[in-house]
Amino acid sequence: MGPVVFSGAQPTGQLTLGNFLGALRNWVAMQASHDCIFCIVDLHALTVRQDPKELRERSLELAALYLACGIDPAKSTVFIQSHVPAHAELAWLLSTFTQMGELERMTQFKDKAQRHRQNVNAGLFTYPVLMAADILLYQTEKVPVGEDQKQHLELTRDIAVRFNGLYGQIFKIPEPMIAADGARVKDLQEPSKKMSKSAESELARVMILDDPKEVVKKFKKAVTDGLNQICFDEENQPGVTNLLDIWCVVTGHSKEEALAHFSHNQYGRLKMETGEVVAAALSPVREEFARLRREEGYLDSILRQGALQARQRAGRTLADAYRVVGLPPLPGGDS
């Protein structure tokens, strides 16, 4: 098997086109060459108050979406984070090897604390330690990350190096995988920002499960500019550049081919064609997702099997970490 890859997403609402192009499509491709572990990180979602019924439903929906996008449970381990207690257990141990100053420097904590001022809880502060546990439990070698998660991965590496320096090579030191294609899908209304599922305007974001007509409508209303020329110019034409980037990633065409195709310099046609190719790419996912959600027994069996596989792998790492720090084994147990 190839290098171990770990990644996951929170079950806090639908995923966007940016998640599909920048993460999920790449995850699917990785299955041919990597030992992939894909998690629904529901424990992370608890840093913000959640409706219990909705959280459970969204966790199942996200698992179905993983499969609908092409994640194959015969090739990859797919599970829900809270089904593997070792994540929370190792997070506590690693928190004793993490400095307050390191957590205080995390820019995501500062950003989220500003957005959720009524609930700046300790979990929000120690979130990166749980993320480190997620990664290190599986002896992960590669972690697909965007720019907003690079700082967290650096902390993970620092914690692992610190722990290994004291106790030997317990954890592998993970390396980042930065996706070149599809990783920079921008907000359709404010193209200087990354497309986010938390954007205030529904027109700003395209969700993977959007109806095809809704997808095209959102692209038709995308913000461009008054220059009336179609160029790759992120500084002066961020909206047009975003549309071109999306068209290229979805169709597989090069930038040169895109400029030749849109040499007419008509923004309306650029918006319409980009919306149509995106809608066509997302429609099979939407249809497969609907089928999987009707097969709840099948979905449950996949998640149960994935949790068992993850527990076995995570348990070995946790046992080694407990042993080297001096925590006694269970009397009469195997470790």
Active site residues: 112, 194, 197
Query: Which tokens go with 293?
Result: 């959600």
Residue carrying the six token digits 């147990």 = 333
- Whole-angstrom distance, CA of residue 300 vs CA of residue 305: 9
Q: Of 226, 284, 273, 224, nearest to 246 (Cα)? A: 273
Residues 6+ apart with CB under 8 A from 73: 67, 302, 305, 306
Cβ atoms of residues 184 and 197 within 8 Å: no
Cβ atoms of residues 260 and 287 within 8 Å: no
Q: Of 242, 117, 144, 150, nearest to 190 (Cα)? A: 242
Residue carrying the six token digits 């692992």 = 160
User: Residue 261, exposed/middle/buried by CB under 10 A (0-12, 13-18, 19+)?
Assistant: middle
Q: Torsion angle of alpha carbons 145, 148, 152, 154, nearest 10°?
A: 70
What does each C-alpha distance from 80 to 55, 91, 117, 218, 315 come to in angstroms? 12, 16, 28, 32, 16
